Amino acid sequence: MSEISLYFTPVNKSQENYEDDQIGGVIKTYHSEFPDIKSGSIAIFYVPENRGSVTGEGERNSVGFREAFNRLHVGKNWKKDIYDLGDILPGKELKDTYFALSNVVSELVKSNVLPFIVGGSQDLLMGIYDGYAKLEQLVNICSVDYSLDLGDPQKNVDANSYLTPIMLKRPCYLFNHANIGLQIPYAKPKDLKLFEKLFFDICRLGEFNSDFRKAEPHLRNADIINIDFKSIKASEVFSHGSNPNGFYAEQICQIARYAGISDKVNCTGIFNYTDKNEISDKLMADIIWYFCDGFYSRWGDFPMGSKSNYKRFSVFLEEGQYTIVFFKSNKSDRWWMEVPYPPAEGKKYERHHLVPCNKEDYDKAMKNEMPDLWWKTYQKLC
């Protein structure tokens, strides 16, 4: 993968001496020679691009979170390599940064390497999406965000309006979008109606706080995890750019671990990381650690191909005459629903007709009630 090395600036060598069981002692960092990246690994890199920020934050030094991460100790299941590829510096124009990021993401995903991007402004998701478009792959995006970030299609793209341009691109490779942590005061009523019309998913912050299980299937169903650092409570990160309400530090780490443990997730980004202070750097390091710990603990039980290692349950709903097939993994006890789709579509929907769910969805179907996730997916497939 040396062809992507031209996009990266190496990391200055640390003066610290790390122990063998610290991340800094095992991570393969780009200092002078670009690493030979192995399949099945995680590649972390930083993109200090903030020209899409609506508040005009400048670039920040990336050393803080790197040093905090390298001081942490490796988990007991960390048996695959982890890389720090350095920084993708901003291009002459914003579109140049998108282009560089899209090429890097496309190459890494194609090589079965998970890109973990620490951002700049959240519109960098445009570059990530373009990387999947080059692979002609339908994707699900799960955004951990206090707002919907649709914006006005007549205005320039920025950190608060990247989703509409993605949806308007043709051909469109976005199959589903889920939002976790939405705070209704920050959502326009017309945007909520559009999400409903498109059969997109929302798990509001209050719903998450009452029952995390409502969010877990959305994380497990995503290809791309998109985390807005400003969705964390300002008091947790000593940040002036965040909001008074939001996720607690332990909650965002829990989300990161569940995202990492999902077999389907193959790209993750944390954006709007602009306030420079020791607490936010340490929390960023913790988030990356918990994602990695989940990644290295994957069960590998996404129900593709043979279903011999799953328990199969069929539920007939009298209203609408639908039969819903559920699968429960013998490895992890996790649940999925099978949603029918037109045979002519072939492999196009192969990764999207098996919908992650909870046992509560099975219980709901047993009461002759249609699970929302099944119905929304059915509408998009048919």
One domain for residues 315 and 186: no
Could you tell me the CATH number of the domain that includes residue 53? Answer: 3.40.800.10
Can you give the pLDDT at residue 240?
73
Q: Cα-flanking dihedrals φ and ψ of residue 86, to 5°?
A: 95, -145
Which distant-in-sequence residues (6+ apart) come within 8 Å of 351 by Cβ? Answer: 138, 223, 264, 304
Of 237, 265, 295, the one marking the end of a domain is 295
Spatial CA neighbour of 24 closest among 89, 71, 62:
71
Ranges of the chain with pLDDT below 50: none
Instruction: Check: CB of residue 128 under 8 Å from CB of residue 102.
Output: yes
Can you give the pLDDT at residue 187?
95
CA distance 73 to 69: 9
Can you give the pLDDT at residue 126?
96
Q: What is the largest CA-CA distance in the chain?
A: 68
Sign of the alpha-carbon torsion through 298, 272, 215, 265 = negative
One domain for residues 238 and 357: no
**Is 262 exposed, middle or buried, given 0-12, 13-18 or 19+ CB atoms closer than 10 A?**
buried
CA distance 165 to 162: 6
In a domain, 300, yes or no: no
One domain for residues 145 and 259: yes
Spatial CA neighbour of 352 closest among 112, 139, 136:
139
One domain for residues 54 and 11: yes
In a domain, 225, yes or no: yes
Which distant-in-sequence residues (6+ apart) come within 8 Å of 193 by Cβ? Answer: none
Structural domain containing residue 38: 2-295
Tell me, what amino acid is at 127?
Answer: G
In a domain, 27, yes or no: yes
Can you give the pLDDT at residue 308?
77
* pTM (two decimals): 0.93
Q: How many domains does the chain contain in total?
A: 2
Can you give the pLDDT at residue 33?
93
Can you give the pLDDT at residue 157?
83
One domain for residues 23 and 154: yes
In a domain, 18, yes or no: yes
CA distance 268 to 226: 6
**Tokens describing residue 27:** 């991570």
